[in-house]
Structure 1
Amino acid sequence: YENAITDVTHQLEVRERMFAVLDYTGKQTRASAAPTQANVDKLEDGFHSIAGAAVDSKGRLYFIDRWFKNIYSYAQGEGLKMVSNYPLDPVNLAVDGSDNLMVLSSAGKEATVYSLKPNVPGATIAVIPPTASAAHPNARVAIPANFWKNGEFRDQLNYDTMEFTTLNEMFVRDVAMPKAREYVSPDGSLVLPAFRVTRHGPLDHLGYRWSHTLDTHGFVYAAVGQRAVFTNSSENITYSGLVGAGGAITDLKKVADRGGESAAVGPDGTVYVANGQIFIYGPDGKETGRIDVPARPLQLIFGGADKRTLFILTHHALYSTRI
């Protein structure tokens, strides 16, 4: 759901989800203005549920309308284009160094990854099999832009101390674990760690599957030994972490006291967090502004020819703003 509370009389929305008590009198007639007066443009709308976006070397945006299994591209001067409508259950996209798409699909027992040339009509789809994790010195590693870790599928009680593992302890412990397998793009420039997949129901398209890479709204990237910024939605905190072999993430540092659906780092190092609206944080971790969006932002990603266009994906529409 997009809003915790909707006042239909005054057309006000409360998008904040994490609060214990809210006293609302109904006398407020308008929302407070955003401190950052950014111009947000609606680029396209009418989608069912878009996410999983990635950009190529030219700044062209690719994204998925997950319900209809369609992959689209968008660039200024080109507009919206259909890239693929193969019914292969695409969930998230990444772009390798050759500007080919690496597609994570929910089809299959443990999900499936395939490559696709986006600008070649009728191009052959090539399945990428999982392989044992290995060193790739010049490759980028794709990790989830947002995590949800609350221990639903595991007993969190320590019977020696009779203490429950905290949300932070769970997160730090689990993201630091390297993955035994990975998916590597055909040109070797991009690695997607194979996260554990939890299943419910049949193994065909009717079954349900969950994993950190299937559940996320998109990916962020870093080479081994570099840092990436991502959110822990269950804690509502944005972190920076050191990416290691097998997709392990260590040395976590809090960069923002919000951590909703995703985060993106601007050209100057400013962090933009999608958490009901878009909240802006400086290098010191202090909030410096806010960008209001007509609908709840889910994924933020920088693109455009100069990489200064912030694309904003909501459930049903694509927006952008210039940074």
Structure 2
Amino acid sequence: MKLDRDGKPSVAYSATHTGGALSISAKGNLFIIERGLRMKIEQLSPERKLLADSFQGEPLDCIGGVINDVAADSRGGVYFTMGGLFHADAKGVVTRYGENLFTNGVVLSPDEKTLYVTNGTTLAAFDVQPDGLLTNQRVFATFTAGGGDGSTIDSQGRVYVTTGAGVEVIGRDGKLLGVIPTPRSVISCAFGGKDKKTLFVLARGAQDADGTEVANAAQVWAIQTIAQGYKGRAK
């Protein structure tokens, strides 16, 4: 789905089945994860094609858990989370990284030299080698609340993570800069809008005109910011 500047939805790509997270690389490649009976990662643009649907000769479904979030790199591959942390290169070869991870959101730094991934109550970081290999796993930051979920990054390299407290903002040095409070539990976030100074946040739940909670509903909020999202990628 696509939302225009007035919040009107339209179908951008059809037949994505149970499509989930999206990510656009610095070169404009758009990827989506699909969570259906056959979990996979598909490239939607500029050419629609399958990127990966297996790990070590077995379907991704056999890993266990549900494919969750994705971050596209400039080499034609993606990092994705599925309980653990994985990388699918441009040829679709999937490699697993990290230890003792319970992952969710994943995002690359603007220079693509650091990868950040939520890990429960902490944000883990990895060094990214020129070939995409990940090294030096470490705890980068600890959240004020549990449930680290989706994440995005701004032009200065600050990381924004949705947690039980709202949207927590982490500086380049790993220190908490503040929390953007939200009235509902939030799932994911991304910069967009004019000059990328709007933080869009996906929240769980919604109410109808009578104030009754609507089952299986969600809302998208727009938060104006002084900070600017990184223009090299959509996420």
Q: TM-score range by the shorter chain?
A: 0.5 to 0.7
Structure possessing the higher radius of gyration over alpha carbons: 1
Secondary structure in structure 1 of the residue aligned to 2:185? coil
Q: What's the CA shift string for 1:92-127, capped at 9, x where partnerless?
A: 322245645322223465x23333359xxxxx9533
Match of 2:34 in 1: 105
1:130 Cα offset (Å) = 6.5
Q: Which residue of 2 aligns with 1:291?
A: 180
1:140, 1:222 within 8 Å by CA — same for their partners in 2?
no
Aligned amino acid, residue 115 of structure 1 = Q
In 1, Cα distance between the equivalents of 2:193 and 2:92? 24
Alignment of 1:194 with 2:94, yes or no, is yes
The DSSP-based 3-state class of the residue aligned with 2:195 is coil
Deviation at 1:320, TM superposition (A): 2.1
SS of the residue 1:94 aligns to:
strand
Displacement after TM superposition at 1:296 (Å): 1.0
Q: How far does the alpha carbon of each residue in 1:266-321 deviate from its partner, in whole angstroms, 9 at most, with x for none?
A: 22333322111112233343333221112111112222342222221123111121
CA distance in structure 1 between the partners assigned to 2:160 and 2:74 by the alignment: 27
Compared with structure 1, are the counterparts of its residues 244 and 224 closer, same or farther at alpha carbon in structure 2 (3 Å cutoff)? Answer: farther
**Equivalent of residue 313 in structure 1, options 194, 202, 220:** 202
Q: Which of 38, 43, 49 is the aligned partner of 1:115?
A: 43
Structure showing greater relative contact order (alpha-carbon pairs closer than 8 Å, 6 or more residues apart): 1
TM-score (norm 1): 0.46
TM-score with structure 2 length normalisation?
0.60
Supply the distance in 2 between the matched residues of 1:86 and 1:223 (Cα, whole angstroms).
31
Aligned length: 186
Deviation at 1:227, TM superposition (A): 0.7
C-alpha separation between the residues in 1 aligned to 2:173 and 2:29?
36
In structure 2, the partner of 1:279 is 168
State the partner residue of 2:49: 126
Identity %: 19
Greater strand share, structure number: 2
Q: CA deviation at 1:255?
A: 3.0
CA contact (8 A) 1:193 1:246 kept: no
**What are the superposed Cα offsets for residues 214-235 of structure 1, whole Å, 9 maximum, x if unpaired?**
x845x523699711222112xx
Change (3 A) 1:92 1:287: closer
- Superposition CA RMSD, Å: 3.9
Match of 1:314, SS? strand
- What 5-or-longer segments of structure 2 have no aligned partner? 56-72, 205-217, 226-235
Do structure 1's residue 269 and structure 2's residue 198 form an aligned pair?
A: no
